[in-house]
Structure 1
Amino acid sequence: MTTSQTGSARSRRKQVTVTDIARACGVSRATVSLVLRGSPLVHADTRARVEAELKKQRYVYNRAAANLRRQTSSSVALLINDLSNPFFAEFAAGVDEALGEEGYVTLLGSTGESPQRQLAVLGSLVEHGPAGIILSPAEHSDGAALQRLLGAHTPALVFNRALPDVDWDFLALDNERGARLATEHLLSLGHRRIAFYGGHADSSSCRQRRQGYVAAMRAAGIEPDAAWLVECAPTRFEAARQTGELFACAPEATAAVCYNDNVALGLMLGLSARGVRPGADFALTGFDDIAEAALSTPPLTTLAAQPRACGRLAAELLLQRVRDPGAAPRRVIAPVTLVVRGSSGAAAM
């Protein structure tokens, strides 16, 4: 027999079925199906015997076909706006952990803050028929366009940034209170010329954090100048690159409430490059408490948001929506806690 004939014979070889595995093990088809789905109802010895036979016969589980038979999906799509930000990497890990514990697989996509790419990636993810969608929207997202893409019956949860024109479940951090706590902390150290640095004003999370900063300043009898609200992309690179813009807008500033930890860490680099010592010559705070915040020089004062726990909560909320699609949309605000470290320095002179 030639090589091509051998390949043809193999391609015609009968596909191994659940019935074949059940017959070889002397168990029911239902038992094999339970093993394939990871059910705890199967005795350990039986599970081991079935798994050995699956491996021996090289059985391939057709998950898509199983989903069609059960009219369910075993996957959930997760679309993140910026996976380069450690906060969102931790958030995604929490989502995946919680989904995995419930037998779901995470389909992960990233948009890089592009609304156009967001529509394209989401369209591809929807083709896999996920049980639901968790979305951290890109800046300038069109909520109505996203809802048209997903349709009326796809369970969805929005994280971090509010989307106009949608009625999906929403999970966010306590942005306003967090920024207010950071500002009050700097005020308590004697600072009065405090800037708000980073983020874009048309982002709901940035807008809320600015509101907390302004409220704390006004409560202290200080009306912040509009020039003290300095925009930049919420990345470490841009925050470092635009440090000069901060001092051009607020030349007398002695402290800054930063939009997030990435911005704060970038500003620390920018300050150092200008010969300004973070935590000694200039005080600053972050927001998120990514793992690196405690290891920076100096360690970063920030708002702890527990991104992995937020990811787990997002997954739990979405699965509740999957099980009860008719429930009223929910809005959940996750608390944050001020963690004081060296970057805010000692009391201002």
Structure 2
Amino acid sequence: MRPARPNRERKITVNDVALASGVSRATVSLVLRGSPLVHAKTRERVERQIAALGYVYNRAAANLRTRTSSSVALIINDLSNPFFAEFAMGVGDALVGAGHVALLGSTGESVEWQEAVLGSLMEHSPAGIILSPAEHTDGPRLQRMLGHEPVVVFNREIPGTQWDFLALDNRNGARLATEHLLSLGHRRIAFFGGHADSSSCQERRQGYLGAMDAAGVAADPRWLVECAPNRVESRQATRMLFQQEHGLTAAVCYNDNVALGFKLGLMERGLRPGLDFALTGFDDIPEAAQTTPALTTLAVDPRERGRQAAELLLERVRDPDAPVRRVIAPVRLVVRDSSGTPLHD
């Protein structure tokens, strides 16, 4: 049945256009704002109904509604990582205090899914976006998609964009972890996990390599091991690492998830973490202190980082023309049992 035509004696509304087009009110709003997130065929159908019904877009009112939106889109690249669960809770803490709510989406490190999630969340006209981007995100494409929406990018830089950026002190953190292992007498130390084309992994590798170089130790390229930053792939990569002769005695792991997977791989080979092999993590997720042996790691306070990201975004919403900000959050080495005691020949 065709939808009933609205009464011509009253003003045509977005709801009328949505009903006639068979789409949501939010989709009509995206079409009216010229958002590229709407599929071309859907856009064409909505535009036909706009013309047929004689709808007139009140841009001033739409702008006012956008500025007073009570929601913020939070897009996470890997929600299975406990770090991001803590981060999301921090975002929520800050937003609730400011009268906002978070609309949460997870991309699973997929650029295609990231675009789909953004498209879905943008239909709710959020006040802004907090994005922990998927690997291989196309910056210029994403910039075109989101236009002038307020955005805060977390921890992974996106080349070709001009958005506020909040990162951890990745380089210094990895340097501290490497220096700690060097101080215990280790010289054959791996940097384990992450992908080399990720900005956060690049920075952590630089910190590791800088510490090794300062100690007069040449890092063998085979000691730089790539894997996805999760436990499953880390465990598998550990098995492959020990199939070759390397003489390694320690590893600086990309993050705590990688370190915990590495620890399982060690135990499968009958090696005792912290006794037969030293390792460190990065993030200090709650499990780091509770596993056996407890994990030496870099504390970054993920919940506080979430609050910080939300505050940066709210500042951008209040002042869209302020200079773009780049904020580097400090990290702190927490020494526990997984790095062991001084190495003896």
Q: Which of 321, 330, 338 is residue 335 of structure 1 equivalent to?
A: 330
Contact kept, 8 Å, 1:186 with 1:255, in 2: the verdict is yes
Deviates more, 1:243-252 or 1:78-87: 243-252
Q: Percent identity?
A: 71
Relative to 1, partners in 2 of residues 1:249 and 1:77: Cα closer, same or farther, differing over 3 Å? farther
Shift of residue 72, structure 1, vs aligned partner: 1.7
Q: Which of 317, 321, 326 is residue 321 of structure 2 equivalent to?
A: 326
Aligned equivalent of 1:303: 298
Aligned residues: 284
In the alignment, structure 1 residue 345 sits paired with structure 2 residue 334: no
User: How many angstroms apart in 2 are the aligned matches of 1:69 and 1:212?
Assistant: 46
User: How many angstroms apart in 1 are the aligned matches of 2:110 and 2:278?
Assistant: 33
Q: Which of 92, 100, 107 is residue 104 of structure 1 equivalent to?
A: 100
User: How many angstroms apart in 1 are the aligned matches of 2:78 and 2:117?
Assistant: 14
1:1-349 to structure 2, matched below 5 A, reads 72-151=68-147, 153-248=148-243, 251-349=246-344
SS of 1:170's partner is strand
Contact kept, 8 Å, 1:67 with 1:73, in 2: the verdict is no
Deviations 1:212-239 (A, max 9, x none): 0000000000110111100111001111
Aligned equivalent of 1:13: none
Shift of residue 247, structure 1, vs aligned partner: 2.7
Q: Which one-letter code corresponds to 2:329 in the other structure?
A: A
Q: Aligned Cα RMSD in Å?
A: 1.5
SS of 1:267's partner is helix
Q: Which one-letter code corresponds to 1:114 in the other structure?
A: S
User: How many angstroms apart in 2 are the aligned matches of 1:171 and 1:250?
Assistant: 40
4+ residue segments displaced more than 6 Å: 65-68
Shift of residue 248, structure 1, vs aligned partner: 4.1
SS of 2:242's partner is helix
Q: Which one-letter code corresponds to 2:222 in the other structure?
A: A
- Consecutive unaligned residues of structure 2, counting only runs of 5 or more, are 1-60
Contact kept, 8 Å, 1:136 with 1:160, in 2: the verdict is yes
Deviations 1:236-262 (A, max 9, x none): 111111212223456200000000000
In our comparison, the structure showing a higher alpha carbon Rg is: 1
Q: Which one-letter code corresponds to 1:209 in the other structure?
A: R
User: How many angstroms apart in 2 are the aligned matches of 1:79 and 1:159?
Assistant: 10
TM-score (norm 2): 0.80
